[in-house]
Each structure stands twice: as structure tokens, then as C-alpha cells.
């Protein structure tokens, strides 16, 4: 029983590993472990969700952009117009 629990824990950690690279995870496993994946994504991990081995989605961390002031927006638009 202990061996099967350790084996299962190893499988889970191999699927959900925190690093800066994209990790592939199956759609069923994503559904099953969604809350764990969201926690890992919050720590800068990215996941590619696959269905039958083909990539179908990417889960990435959301980074809040600082609010842009009117002056910064005008400056960006002027910069874009130069091209």
C-alpha cells in the first residue's frame, strides 16, 4: 500500500513540476488536477494541454500590467506611427 502511494505521488509530481519550461499534460489529467496546476502556474510554470498527444491549449501565468497613463499612451501611439 505504501509503495502504491509513493508511486502515485511520483507520477503526480512528474506531471506537475515547477520550472520555467512548458510541461505537457493530458486533458484528463488537467481536469483532475486543475487546482494543483493553477498553483504551479502562479509560480511561473507553463503547461501545454494535449488531447490524444496533440497540443490544444496553453496555461500560462497572468501578469498584471501597470496602468498606462494618458501621456504614456500618446507616446506609444506616436512611436508606432514612426514605423
**Predicted local distance difference test score (pLDDT) of residue 25:** 92
pLDDT, tens digit, 9 for 90 and up, residues 1-39: 555 554 555 555 555 444 446 789 999 999 999 999 888
Name the residue with higher pLDDT: 14 or 41. Answer: 41
Q: Could you write out the DSSP letters of every residue in 31-78?
A: HHTHHHHHHHHHTT-EEEEEETTEEEEEE----PPPPPPHHHHHHHHH
pLDDT, tens digit, 9 for 90 and up, residues 65-80: 677 788 888 888 888 8
Amino acid at each position: 500500500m505504501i509503495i502504491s502511494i509513493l508511486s502515485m505521488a511520483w507520477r503526480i509530481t512528474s506531471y506537475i513540476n515547477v520550472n520555467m519550461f512548458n510541461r505537457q499534460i493530458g486533458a484528463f489529467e488537467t481536469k483532475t488536477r486543475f487546482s494543483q496546476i493553477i498553483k504551479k502556474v502562479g509560480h511561473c510554470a507553463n503547461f501545454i494541454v494535449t488531447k490524444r498527444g496533440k497540443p490544444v491549449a496553453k496555461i500560462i501565468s497572468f501578469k498584471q500590467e501597470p496602468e498606462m497613463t494618458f501621456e504614456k499612451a500618446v507616446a506609444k501611439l506616436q512611436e508606432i506611427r514612426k514605423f
